[in-house]
Amino acid sequence: MNIVKAEVVVTSPDRNFVTLKLTTEEGFTGLGDATLNGRELAVVSYLQDHVAPLLIGKDASRIEDTWQFFYRSAYWRRGPVTMAAIAAVDMALWDIKGKAAGMPVYQLLGGASRQGLLAYGHASGSDIPELFDSIRKHLELGFRAVRVQTGVPGLNAIYGIASQSKETGGGEARYDHEPARRGAQPVQEDWDTRSYLRHLPRVFEAVRNEFGPEIPLLHDGHHRMTPIQAAQLGKNLEPYDLFWLEDCTPAENQESLKLVRQHTTTPLAIGEIFNTAWDFKDLIRDQLFDYVRGAVTHMGGITALKKTLDYAAMYQIKSGMHGPTDISPVGMAAAMHLGLAIHNFGIQEYMQHGDRTNQVFEQSFTWQDGLLHPGDKPGLGVSLNIDEAGKYPYQQAYLPFNRLADGTVHDW
């Protein structure tokens, strides 16, 4: 089952996506997501210049061997660009194996461990009334769990708050719309940790009073606190029974989670920016967190993330795979197949792609009663409409960044 073609497709329907498409001599095709938000073209070059030529003539059925070949023969290990490229190859090979077997990928991974995947949506508001409306809207849409992000008094623009897209002239307010972020320079936002720490517990108190104790509530700290600030926040949020507090400190200093853990029982999620099992290894062994945020797209594919999650399972640590809209529908499908098969599934982030993206990528997943299911088409269940993709060329876009009131650059 030799690979005869390896194409890299860049498209920007609602935002930029990088997709690897492999074709075998029998005519099977496989898709892999290689999207690295804000640094997309580095992965395009890695794939086009250094990976695609080596794929031609390789046996597509040898998934583990191909993974090891690309990881070890590169010599330069790890890193988001390398691991997104390897992830795309790995996903595409699982897709091909599924099509060749006539089975959805989750069957190849051991079959379904549940009926569907509990998914959380992103509610947000610049103030409490706006936040309540957003939570209500998510509940009406069918979400059974919501992430809560809120504006902070005194700060103009902060992470995670929906606003209307400038380029599309309004429409539905979303916080992830790339058109608002497109341009030659990243957008500058502002930040003040003390105001945030004072404000956030009041917001969660108001949300629990309004929506009751049942609904799982999540929050993303987005790497912006010091360890002792994170410990303080985790402790102050305990009465509101969060499902998780995500990325409370920057991920580089993993030791810092020890300090956080000593002070709070609020469950912790970490790792959306990690890219190998090694980034998680010590944190898992020391039981310093509760949910693995790794994305199939950024962790080197299904093969590598499954190994990480199997190790995490030994410590009762569960999955919480990253699922923002910068994970393409191909990467989301891979996450759904893996999440359906493993025993230690926790929750799946689900942000819903825009209409144009859904026309470029035809998908077979379903979303019913708050649960995602990847569908039963052979492979990953996603096909790429090349003509549609061709309508939307790459557009320069960056993630925003933060400055404090005195001008200091801060984690975003």
Binder of ligand EZ4 out of 272, 309, 319, 370 (CB under 6 A): 272
Task: Please say which residue, 63 or 162, places its beta carbon nearer to ligand EZ4.
Answer: 162
Minimum distance between the CB of residue 27 and ligand EZ4, rounded to whole angstroms?
A: 35
The interface region with Co ion, picked from 12-20, 219-227, 328-336, 346-354 by CB under 5 A, is 219-227
Given the residues 122, 138, 177, 222, select the one marked as catalytic: 222
The interface region with Co ion, picked from 163-171, 195-203, 217-225, 257-265 by CB under 5 A, is 217-225
Q: What are phi and psi of 10, to 5 degrees?
A: -110, 130
Q: What is the DSSP letter of 187?
A: P
Task: Please say which residue, 231 or 269, places its beta carbon nearer to Co ion.
Answer: 269
Binder of ligand EZ4 out of 250, 324, 375, 400 (CB under 6 A): 324
Residue 138 falls in the annotated catalytic set: no
Residue 298 falls in the annotated catalytic set: no
Task: Please say which residue, 98 or 271, places its beta carbon nearer to ligand EZ4.
Answer: 271
Minimum distance between the CB of residue 381 and ligand EZ4, rounded to whole angstroms?
A: 23
Amino acid found at 399? L
Q: Are 103 and 47 in contact (CB under 8 A)?
A: no
Q: Which residue is nearest to Co ion (CB)?
A: 220
Minimum distance between the CB of residue 379 and ligand EZ4, rounded to whole angstroms?
A: 25
Binder of Co ion out of 192, 220, 279, 326 (CB under 5 A): 220
What value, to the nearest 5°, has the Cα angle with vertex 168 and ends 164 and 170?
Answer: 35
Given the residues 46, 159, 196, 291, select the one marked as catalytic: 159
Residue 14 binds ligand EZ4 (CB under 6 A): no
Residue 279 binds ligand EZ4 (CB under 6 A): no
C-alpha distances out from residue 2 to 57, 71, 86, 257, Å: 5, 20, 18, 46
Binder of ligand EZ4 out of 90, 192, 290, 326 (CB under 6 A): 326
Minimum distance between the CB of residue 48 and Co ion, rounded to whole angstroms?
A: 29
Closest CA to 295 of 254, 326, 340: 326
Q: How many residues bind ligand EZ4 (CB under 6 A)?
A: 7
Minimum distance between the CB of residue 112 and Co ion, rounded to whole angstroms?
A: 27
Q: Which of residues 235-274 bind Co ion (CB under 5 A)?
A: 272
Task: Please say which residue, 24 or 37, places its beta carbon nearer to ligand EZ4.
Answer: 37
Task: Please say which residue, 298 or 377, places its beta carbon nearer to ligand EZ4.
Answer: 298
Please report how the helices 193-211 and 128-141 are oriented relative to each other, as an axis angle in degrees rounded to 10: 50
Q: Are 142 and 369 in contact (CB under 8 A)?
A: yes
Q: What are phi and psi of 176, to 5 degrees?
A: -105, 5
HEC string for 140-165: HHCCCCEEEEECCCCCCCCCCCCEEE
C-alpha 411: how far from its chain's center?
A: 19
Residue with the two structure tokens 């794929």: 55
Query: What span, in angstroms and rounded, lies between the C-alpha atoms of 189 and 292?
Result: 28
* 291 three-class SS: strand
Query: What span, in angstroms and rounded, lies between the C-alpha atoms of 39 and 127?
Result: 32
Q: Which of residues 71-100 bind ligand EZ4 (CB under 6 A)?
A: none
Closest CA to 43 of 8, 67, 72: 8
Q: Contact residues for Co ion (CB under 5 A)?
A: 220, 272
Q: Contact residues for ligand EZ4 (CB under 6 A)?
A: 37, 220, 222, 272, 324, 326, 399
The catalytic residue positions are 159, 222
